[in-house]
Amino acid sequence: MKLKECDLSGNNIRAIHPPDRTIRSGPALARAGLCDDADLADEVANIYAVAVTPHLAALIDTSDPDDPIARQFVPDRRELGTTPDERLDPIGDDAHAPVPGIVHRYPDRVLLLPSLICPVYCRFCFRREKVGPKGGGADSGVLSPEQLHIALAYIEDHPAIREVILSGGDPLGLSDRRLAHILDRIEAIDHVDTIRIHSRVPVAAPERITPALIAILSRATPVWLSIHCNHAREIAPETEVALAALSRAGVPLISQTVLLRGINDNVDVM
């Protein structure tokens, strides 16, 4: 049985021996006490990528079957079912993807998806068929240098675009060198005045928010960082420290919060 720390109300809040690497399989989920049926979890993981970082795993109360963090990241049997009205591309990205890595739905802004890899995989993700190491048909889930060049050239060639939104996948999962290269290229485009990054990293892997990364994000063209966070329990002390450091460096922070049944669909949690 796993030992836990307790908060003052007596609730178990943190496993004392969290896994030391990201959980990606049914057996690893079972070993961490996060699922009872490793085979079922693997069945789901073979279709939709699974990852739970050590940091988030340590925040899960394994004695609570409705733990709001576990429910977002631990595979569920219901994922194996599909209904006739479900679509492979539920938000219609494909119809607005002129080149790989670009979704251009509105004239003045564009999505740039340099990577389809995430530090964690949310079970509710509306790009779940695409994210992951095999996402988008690319073996690595990351745009090749040639594809990236073409995607950036597309932005350069469309002067109506004033905002570039890096999403994915998680852009902060890229190496510092690759991220800096992309931001440098975007910043050099005259008609782009705003860059936005959507990321789970501050919540899922706050140790990635290093001084070097913060220096890359602090630049003349504002780089807005949209933190994907759906429940207050996701905001651990390490995340608070990371967000404070970003804020001190002048990185504008906003939040993207998905309304999720049974997780945050009540006023108190919100």
Applying CB under 6 A, the residues found at the interface with ligand SF4 are: 118, 121-122, 125, 127, 131, 168-170, 200, 228
With respect to ligand SF4, which residue has the nearer C-beta, 131 or 217? 131
Query: Smallest gap, in angstroms, from Cβ of residue 16 to ligand SF4?
Result: 27
Task: Look up residue 24 and give its two tokens.
Answer: 């990606």
- What torsion do the CA atoms of 225, 255, 140, 87 make, to the nearest 10 degrees? -140
- Nearest CA to 182 out of 131, 112, 234, 116 is that of 112
Q: How far is the CB of 258 from ligand SF4 (least distance, A)?
A: 8
- Residue 125 or 235 having the CB closest to ligand SF4: 125
Q: Between residues 18 and 171, which has the closer beta carbon with respect to ligand SF4? A: 171
d(CA 229, CA 227): 6
Minimum CB distance to ligand SF4 smaller for 42 or for 226: 226
Helix axes 176-187, 145-156, angle to 10 degrees: 20
Closest separation in Å from C-beta 199 to ligand SF4: 8
State which residue, 56 or 161, has the beta carbon closest to ligand SF4.
56
> Least distance (Å) from ligand SF4 to the CB of residue 86?
16
Q: Which of 98, 166, 173, 87 is nearest to 130 (CA)?
A: 87
Q: Which two tokens stand for residue 148?
A: 């990236």
Nearest to 122 by CA among 210, 182, 198, 176: 198
Beta strands at 253-256 and 194-199: parallel, antiparallel or unpaired: unpaired
Minimum CB separation of residue 118 from ligand SF4 in Å reads 3
